[in-house]
């Protein structure tokens, strides 16, 4: 694919879960997805939902604020949202910050969803802004995007919609910072891409060779 990067089918995504230490039992608590149109998040068509995990939410300091047993009790299950979510993601490239963690959890709960690949803003940031703090919040602060993300989402960091919209804006900002002109999708994928082979996942050629299903790293970097 040699077209301009934003001509690829891109969907920003973020999941909030109970934590990687739950391993195969990690539950999804919240999910958001928004497609990118001309490189910008199309927030009018964004998908966002709380998820009822079907079990109590553990008391852990990194569980996103507001995701409690009470607030999730009347939320839909993963089975309920699947018919709405799956068509939005099918054959698209998922964009997110440390996106391989979200994909691992998504693929576990929605194994029939087939995507084209992943675009990781964390990988891109490590190349485009070396020497900086590379958390999503720090990068959005650096590019003066925090207030815009908060205002347009009405949410806060470490909630699915905020992080999804934030990653979408960050992708655009990092591309403008790193390239003097619009790169091809191939050029973007070379630095920030990860393939989505669920059987033997391998990362695309680039500065790092992270395995798609790496574990042991925190969701919020």
Per-residue model confidence as pLDDT tens digits over 43-73: 999 999 999 999 999 988 888 878 999 999 9
Collapsed DSSP state (helix, strand, coil) of residue 1:
coil
What DSSP element (H or E) covers 50? strand 47-50
Per-residue exposure over 10-24, b if at least 16 CB sit within 10 Å of its own CB, e if not: bbbbbbbbbeeeeee
pLDDT of residue 221: 54
Per-residue model confidence as pLDDT tens digits over 104-162: 999 999 999 999 999 999 999 999 999 999 999 999 999 999 999 999 999 999 999 99
pLDDT of residue 61: 85
Tokens of 166: 């934030």
Residue 100 above 60 pLDDT?
Answer: yes
Q: Which domains does the chain have, with CATH numbers?
A: 5-194 (3.30.420.10)
Backbone region of residue 144 per phi and psi (left: phi > 0; alpha: psi in -120 to 50; beta: other values): left
Q: What is the pTM of this model?
A: 0.89
What is the C-alpha separation between 8 and 21, in angstroms, rounded?
34
Least confident span in 32-41, 118-127, 137-146, 192-201: 192-201
């Amino acid at each position: 694919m040699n077209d301009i990067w934003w001509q690829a089918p891109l969907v920003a995504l973020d999941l909030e879960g109970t934590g990687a230490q739950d391993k195969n039992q990690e539950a999804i608590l919240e999910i958001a997805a928004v497609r990118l149109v001309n490189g910008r998040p199309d927030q009018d068509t964004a998908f966002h939902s709380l998820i009822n995990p079907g079990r109590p939410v553990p008391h852990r300091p990194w569980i996103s604020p507001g995701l409690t047993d009470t607030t999730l009790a009347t939320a839909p299950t993963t089975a309920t949202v699947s018919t709405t979510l799956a068509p939005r993601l099918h054959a698209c490239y998922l964009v997110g910050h440390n996106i391989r963690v979200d994909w691992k959890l998504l693929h576990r709960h929605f194994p029939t969803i087939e995507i084209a690949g992943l675009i990781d803003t964390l990988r891109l940031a490590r190349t485009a802004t070396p020497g900086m703090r590379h958390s999503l919040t720090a990068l959005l602060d650096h590019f003066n995007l925090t207030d815009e993300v908060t205002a347009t989402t009405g949410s806060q960091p470490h909630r699915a919609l905020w992080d999804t919209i934030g990653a979408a804006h960050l992708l655009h900002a990092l591309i403008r910072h790193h390239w003097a002109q619009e790169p091809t999708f191939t050029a973007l994928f070379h630095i920030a891409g990860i393939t989505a082979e669920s059987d033997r996942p391998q990362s695309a050629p680039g500065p790092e060779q992270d395995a798609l299903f790496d574990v042991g790293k925190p969701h919020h970097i």
